[in-house]
Structures are given as C-alpha cells and as structure tokens.
Amino acid sequence: MPNTFIKEDEDPEYDIFVSTDNVVIYLDLRWKELEYNRVKINTDGNKIYITDSINNRIIKVISLPIRIDPLTLTYKHKNGIFILQGNKLN
C-alpha cells in the first residue's frame, strides 16, 4: 500500500499520512505561542491528546482514521512543527 494522505476535516493545524506500517502526523502549533518543552502528547490509540503539562490545558485533540499502538507513539518538534509517529494496529 502506498503512502496515503488523509484529511478528515478542514483543520489547517495538522495533516495525517498513513502508510503500510505507520501513521505520521504533522502538527503546526506555531500560532499557539507555547513553550514547546511543556507540551505533553499522549494517545489512547484512537485519539491523540496534546496538552500543556504545567496547567493541564488541552491544546488539541486529533481523531485518528485508524488505531495505533499507544506504546509506539513518538514525537519531535522543530520551529513549532511537531512530527508524531505511531505504528498501526491490525
């Protein structure tokens, strides 16, 4: 299966790419004026939750088009763009 771009809504803050084995999300938080080292990202496999770890404020919830393994979620950021990646569950 080739890489597939999935955009389920018109939210300009993120793009979702699904490949054979994993899901990659590009999340743009530049306009939120956050301290990026305070951002906490978790998943239950169906949704990804982005919160401010100091005041527990929810920044964003992303509904995933497919389930991912919560233990494989990784992320990094550069200049306000977060790259999240997780392995698909079968």
CA–CA distance, 35 with 61 (Å, rounded to integer)? 18
**For residue range 62-88, what is the model confidence (pLDDT) as tens digits?**
999 999 999 999 999 988 899 999 999
Mean pLDDT calculated for residue range 10-27 = 88
Please give the C-alpha separations between residue 60 and each of 19, 21, 57, 90, in angstroms, as whole numbers: 23, 25, 9, 26
Least confident among 22-26, 32-36, 48-52, 82-86: 32-36
Domains of the chain: 14-87 (2.60.40.790)
CA–CA distance, 90 with 87 (Å, rounded to integer)? 10
